[in-house]
């Protein structure tokens, strides 16, 4: 509780704080920000408090989410520039419209031809500067609407390719159809798109079945606070205030 005794005070929150949260599975980044903002305002008595996050995590991703308060919200863009490190799992032999488990499997593909050396060789081909298309189910906006909103309405969208940089792509374990990986990449990299493209490279299909962000710039998941350490979370993801000792 020493962190909260020192930093979760009205004057220091307004002056600005940056701290790391371990985002739980199933939460949107906005939900985390919204709930913690409510908690901090409730505990300090502040009527207004700016709270933002640096680098969105999908609901089905977990791990490091940087939160900024007060004047430090002006540094969000700078914080987002740092390289990111992720650990996760690709599932081979199938694809989904969202490139992850948010949507149901739409197509299945053979995997009998996939050997370990082919997996490692394919991973090496993604290291460096690559071009990828964002998933149709993403928070990017087009004509004022989120792409995932358009996708859920069944509307097709012309997506623009973007250039990103993969500095490390390690295959940690192969237990087909699962591939366990570690990726170090630049801002704006979609790991879901990497999963999809990886499946294509293997002449099969793939989707992202789990993802955890472990590093963002100089911040590490090892230094992150759980949601439960800030607020009480029940099984329905409702949040109740925790009284902080003064």
Distances, alpha carbon 120 to alpha carbons 28, 125, 174, 195, 205, in Å: 32, 9, 10, 14, 16
Residue 219, strand partner residues: 216
Helix (H/G/I), strand (E/B), else coil: 222? helix
The rounded distance, in Å, linking the Cα atoms of 64 and 84 is: 10
- 8 Å CB contact between 191 and 198: no
Where in the sequence numbering do the catalytic residues fall?
58
Of 66, 52, 50, nearest to 13 by C-alpha is 50
Between CA 103 and CA 205 the distance in angstroms is 15
């Amino acid at each position: 509780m020493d962190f909260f005794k020192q930093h979760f005070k009205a004057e220091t929150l307004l002056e600005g704080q940056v701290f790391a949260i371990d985002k739980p599975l199933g939460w949107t980044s906005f939900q985390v920000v919204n709930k913690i903002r409510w908690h901090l305002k409730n505990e300090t008595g502040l009527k207004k408090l700016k709270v933002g996050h640096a680098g969105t995590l999908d609901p089905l991703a977990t791990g490091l989410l940087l939160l900024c308060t007060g004047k430090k919200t002006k540094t969000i863009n700078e914080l987002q520039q740092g390289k990111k490190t992720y650990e996760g799992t690709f599932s081979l032999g199938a694809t989904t419209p969202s490139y992850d488990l948010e949507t149901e499997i739409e197509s299945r593909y053979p995997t009998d031809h996939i050997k370990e050396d082919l997996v490692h060789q394919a991973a090496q081909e993604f290291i460096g500067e690559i071009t990828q298309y964002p998933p149709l189910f993403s928070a990017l906006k087009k004509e004022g609407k989120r792409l995932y909103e358009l996708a859920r309405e069944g509307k097709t969208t012309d997506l623009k390719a973007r250039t990103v940089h993969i500095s490390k792509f390690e295959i940690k374990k192969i237990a087909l159809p699962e591939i366990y990986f570690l990726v170090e990449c630049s801002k704006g990299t979609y790991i879901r798109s990497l999963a999809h493209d990886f499946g294509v490279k293997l002449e099969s299909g793939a989707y992202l079945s789990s993802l955890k962000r472990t590093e963002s710039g100089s911040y590490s998941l090892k230094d992150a606070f759980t949601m439960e350490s800030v607020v009480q979370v029940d099984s329905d993801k409702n949040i109740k205030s925790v009284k902080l000792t003064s």
